[in-house]
Chains A and B, each alone.
Chain A
Amino acid sequence: MLSSYLFTRESGLTNPRELRSAQLSRQYSTLVLSDKRYFPTRHSGTVNALAVDHVANRYMISGGSDSRISIWDLNSREGLRHRYEIVAAIPPKKGHKYGISGISWWPFDNGMFITGSFDETIKVWDTEALEEVYKFEMGARVNAHDISSVAEHSLVACAADYTAIRLIDLRSSGAAQMLSSHEGTTVNSIKWSPTDPFMLASGGSDGTVRLWDIRRSDACLTVLSLENTIGKGVFGSVKDSNLRTESFSSTAAFSQVKSHRGVVNGLVWLENGKKLVSTGTDEMIRVWDLAPPFTRDTNTLVNFGPLVRNRYLQCINLVLSPVRDCIPQLLFFPSDTGDILVFQVLTGILVRRLAVSLNTRKRTCGLVCRGSEYVELFSGNSDGDIILWEAEQSARMPLEQKYTANLPPKNILTEIYKGLEMETN
């Protein structure tokens, strides 16, 4: 099948990108535990956070519950052993006092990275000097943080054990804004929109996913309701007191709107900014359609099946495969049972289960895709190991090589000789 792509590419019938995404999709569908490349064990606790830099897709930071931070060079090779090397490391207790909940690279270059920790601080580090440049005391355990990769404002949004979301401005190195609307005691996950520099999504212990526009004075745009399915909608904003819906008409009932029947602890936006994937401790993953204007955010009713396990309050790193590489796009979900479940995002079909080991105690916490061009998935588990998942050997072979591999080897000289022989005979 893929060889027909080669022919159509040569004849110009199809876009060469189609062949590329077909091949990469096939590689993604054969992800296995890497047998050649490995990470030496460094962390003694769970590896909570993994982040690959946006510029070169070469350096990965890992942060764990032992408060150790390590920066790895993903291009490293050590002779025949293919062991990943550490480029820089911050020993335990020196950086943060308690475990690290999230790490993100500064989106525009490799010079800075930001870490959020359970010791109630967010720190900004200089990569060259490996020193902390800023420290922000949040006053509550930081569950998750995010920085926008499309914005000109350098605001870090922080989700903590506190009802309001705090925005920190890195330019003025001070607190910028506080977004309050969540009704529970904690906010557990937070992500900036990949297309709109002012839009934010957050999930909290009140079971709601809220969308915010930070330019507005009453910033909360809407609450995603799981009962708004395709066909109906909850109209208006949260503050609209003339709310009339088909499900319930009183505002008292509306304030009970929920996105999940549990704590919302994982969020990820699709790259086009139009859909949002959320997961909660009700063990469901939901895909939301955020069509403009914000009067019809619908639950697209994609069902990811009964194998999703999500019971702990810790922020779940939902990871999507790079958008143009893998069609249909895949969602990697670290389940509580220790497997990583691979689903097709828009249909909910389970494609693969990546099992770390038969011992199901090893839960996967940190998860990150290396980026476009690479079919590599890194996962950090509760034993402190970081694992590489890559495409199977046979799928990785360059396509042209495979195409001609089955043909008998041609030796031009013998053929000419044979041809001459036949002529003389």
Chain B
Amino acid sequence: MISHLHALFPSDPTFIDRELQRVAEEGLVRKMVVNQNAGDMVIESKDYFRILREMKHTDKASNVEAFDKFEDLLKSKPAVTRLAKEDLAEAAITEEEGIRDLLSVGFLVLSGMPGVYLISIPNVGSFLKLAFRTRKWMVNILAKTKWKEMLEKLIHERWDANVKARWREFRGVRFEWVMMEVKGGGWCEPFATPGGRGWKLTGKKE
């Protein structure tokens, strides 16, 4: 998620936005905006096309050429995050043949607007859900305190307990990932205390 990138470079968020735009236009990276409330996602193009090629040969895809055409279309429009029906038709991906397959496998997603599809990746829902739930967990923990802040050590302990309790959801998620997401997205702010780092809520609502 872009929020992780913003957490890595806290002093210059403009740099990240501009670099991402530049790198996307060069075709090295693919930006995806599947849910505007959830935030932007970024994936290296080589990984994206590798997944596209792997998924081509699953049972759901009856039309392998459509995937090739989709790959060409994406490579011709490197910085685009959504496609209209007309754009897909230009690349000879029609409703019956290509679009339905791409939708069912997960590389296209319906948007609120008719005739416009969002570029995505399979199982994007579970990734976004994970990001949402971890972030919500941390915000709730801080919201319960009187001053909406807590020492990092304490939150880390609670996170470990949480992973054990809700292991089906959270197993494998490192606490650093949660911290980065919450800082980069602007939900929490770190500050220094004599007892280590502390985190407090910024007041950002859903």
Query: Hey, which bits of chain A sit against chain B, CB under 8 A?
Result: 229-232, 246-250, 252-253, 256, 261, 283, 301-309, 311, 336-337, 347-349, 360
* 18 interchain pairs, CB-CB under 8 A: A230-B21, A246-B77, A248-B82, A248-B83, A248-B116, A249-B90, A252-B84, A252-B113, A252-B114, A253-B84, A256-B113, A283-B204, A301-B21, A307-B189, A347-B12, A348-B13, A348-B14, A349-B14
Q: How far is the CA of A309 from the CA of B186 in the complex (A)?
A: 10
Residues in A neighbouring B185, C-beta threshold 8 A: 306
CB distance from A287 to the nearest CB of B (A): 9
Q: Are A302 and B14 in contact (CB under 8 A)?
A: yes
Residues in B neighbouring A256, C-beta threshold 8 A: 113, 116
Residues in A neighbouring B204, C-beta threshold 8 A: 283, 306, 309
Q: Are B86 and A311 in contact (CB under 8 A)?
A: no
In the complex with contacts A232-B79, A305-B13, A261-B113 CB distance below 8 A? no
Q: How far is the CA of A306 from the CA of B54 in the complex (A)?
A: 37
Q: Which of A231, A232, A250 is in CB contact (< 8 Å) with B86?
A: A250
Q: Which of A231, A247, A283, A308 is in CB contact (< 8 Å) with B82?
A: A247
CB distance from B76 to the nearest CB of A (A): 10
Q: Which of A230, A250, A336 is in CB contact (< 8 Å) with B203?
A: A336
Q: Which of B11, B21, B79, B202 is in CB contact (< 8 Å) with A307?
A: B202
A227 to chain B: closest residue by CB: B81
B90 to chain A: closest residue by CB: A249
Q: Are B203 and A309 in contact (CB under 8 A)?
A: yes
CB distance from A46 to the nearest CB of B (A): 19
Q: How far is the CA of A250 from the CA of B82 in the complex (A)?
A: 12
Q: What's the tally of chain B residues with a CB closer than 8 Å to chain A?
A: 37
Residues in A neighbouring B90, C-beta threshold 8 A: 249
Q: Which of A253, A302, A308, A311 is in CB contact (< 8 Å) with B113?
A: A253
A-B residue pair count with CB separations less than 8 angstroms? 85
Q: Are A252 and B202 in contact (CB under 8 A)?
A: no
In the complex with contacts A249-B84, A249-B87, A309-B204, A301-B18 CB distance below 8 A? yes
Classify the interface of chain A: helix, strand, loop or mixed: loop
Q: How far is the CA of A360 from the CA of B203 in the complex (A)?
A: 10
CB distance from A280 to the nearest CB of B (A): 12
Extra 20 A-B pairs, beta carbons < 8 Å, given A246-B80, A249-B87? A229-B21, A247-B82, A249-B90, A250-B84, A250-B86, A252-B115, A253-B113, A301-B14, A302-B14, A302-B17, A303-B16, A303-B17, A305-B186, A306-B13, A306-B183, A306-B185, A308-B186, A309-B202, A311-B205, A336-B203
Residues in A neighbouring B11, C-beta threshold 8 A: 349
Q: How far is the CA of A307 from the CA of B6 in the complex (A)?
A: 12
Residues in B neighbouring A230, C-beta threshold 8 A: 18, 21
Residues in B neighbouring A229, C-beta threshold 8 A: 21
Q: How far is the CA of A247 from the CA of B205 in the complex (A)?
A: 30
User: Is B58's beta carbon under 8 Å from chain A?
Assistant: no
- Considering only residues 15-49 of chain B, those with a C-beta below 8 Å from chain A are 16-18, 21-22, 25, 36
B85 to chain A: closest residue by CB: A250
User: Is B98's beta carbon under 8 Å from chain A?
Assistant: no
Q: How far is the CA of A127 from the CA of B6 in the complex (A)?
A: 50
Q: How far is the CA of A230 from the CA of B22 in the complex (A)?
A: 9
Residues in A neighbouring B77, C-beta threshold 8 A: 246
Q: Which 8 A-B pairs have the closest CB atoms?
A: A306-B186, A303-B13, A301-B17, A348-B14, A303-B14, A303-B17, A250-B84, A248-B84
Chain B, residues 164-206, CB within 8 Å of chain A (1/0): the string is 0000000000000000000111110100000000000011110
Residues in A neighbouring B87, C-beta threshold 8 A: 248-249
B13 to chain A: closest residue by CB: A303
Q: Are B6 and A349 in contact (CB under 8 A)?
A: no
Q: Are B25 and A304 in contact (CB under 8 A)?
A: no
In the complex with contacts A246-B77, A306-B184, A337-B203 CB distance below 8 A? yes
Q: Are A247 and B6 in contact (CB under 8 A)?
A: no
CB distance from B94 to the nearest CB of A (A): 16
CB distance from A364 to the nearest CB of B (A): 15
Q: Are B83 and A304 in contact (CB under 8 A)?
A: no
CB distance from A347 to the nearest CB of B (A): 6
- Considering only residues 71-120 of chain B, those with a C-beta below 8 Å from chain A are 77, 79-87, 90, 113-116
Q: How far is the CA of A336 from the CA of B22 in the complex (A)?
A: 33
Residues in B neighbouring A248, C-beta threshold 8 A: 82-84, 87, 116
CB distance from B120 to the nearest CB of A (A): 16
B182 to chain A: closest residue by CB: A306
Q: How far is the CA of A98 from the CA of B185 in the complex (A)?
A: 38
